[in-house]
Amino acid sequence: MTGAGTNRTRASRTGGPAIILVRPQLAVNIGMCARAMVNFGLTNLRLVAPREGWPVSGALSKGAYAAAAGGAGVLEAAERFENTEQAVRDLNFVWATTARERGQFKPVKTPAEAMPECAVNIAKGERQGVLFGPERTGLSNDDVALANEIITFPVNPAYASLNLAQAVLLAGYEWTRAVTDARPPFAMAQRSPAAPRELVISFFEYLEAELERSGFFRPAEKKAVMRRNLRNMFHRMELTRQDVQTLRGMVVRLVEGPRGSSVRQRMPKMPHTAAINRDLTPDDPASPD
């Protein structure tokens, strides 16, 4: 099963630090970690003594692969190790993730601080990895002792425990920010150009003429302020040409009535018009809007 954002026609990012899951307890969590890795272009998954074994079989396998969604390739390429020492033997630098202060006098950094350093050094040819501990207990002190530095997450101090896949996701996100320009993968399509001032002014003049005819600008001495407030309200919308044409068409229909009608209809005055006018008018007519 793949997600709605999956696009097989686009190139997938690969590489990054090794993601090392130390004694993971649940096959489904391994699957979710694989999915998080694929989201951010991480491809090296290492498993240290998974409790349910690896590769899993039967229902466990089904759960792991279902949770991985589009990350099945990462699961299939995962390496298995008997202990943490074996899993980090080929690495130049190791990060240990933990929510607790371990008293091991290692530098402590957030993912936002650690991943840019990691990216720079991987680009120089270093091999780096990030350790993630078991779901219930986290990394042991002996595991942390194998690391060069610690990564910890700026979370609620009263509840610092993260789901395993969440921790991998946060590290992967910061990795992507470090190796890309971190721009959105797509932008809102501009379907209509910005409205030219001439078109906007023409709409204002038409709208204000109809409002004047309907007795909207009352009291008369506040008309100038009300006109400015109306215009500024529309200017804040950053109107496109299509916006102005649509707004004008709406007002035309309200003023002239249903299409095909030969009689110019006038809208009945709403009972709360005075209240609306008060909202559009500052207490001091001379004050800026």
Q: What is the pLDDT of residues 112-156, one digit of tens each?
A: 999 999 999 999 999 999 999 998 889 999 999 999 999 999 888
pLDDT digits (tens, 9 = 90+) for 49-78: 998 877 777 767 778 888 888 788 898 899
pLDDT at 160: 79
- Joined tokens for residue 32: 């979710």
* pLDDT > 70 in the chain, percent: 83
- Among candidate residues 119, 93, 118, the one with its CA nearest the CA of residue 106: 93
- Say which residue, 172 or 10, is predicted with more confidence: 172
- Among candidate residues 11, 30, 7, the one with its CA nearest the CA of residue 19: 30
- Among candidate residues 136, 144, 167, 151, the one with its CA nearest the CA of residue 84: 144
Q: How far apart are CA 108 and CA 101, in angstroms?
A: 9
Q: How far apart are CA 204 and CA 227, in angstroms?
A: 9
Query: Quick check: bond before 55 cis, omega within 30?
Result: yes
Q: How far apart are CA 109 and CA 232, in angstroms?
A: 47
pLDDT at 61: 79
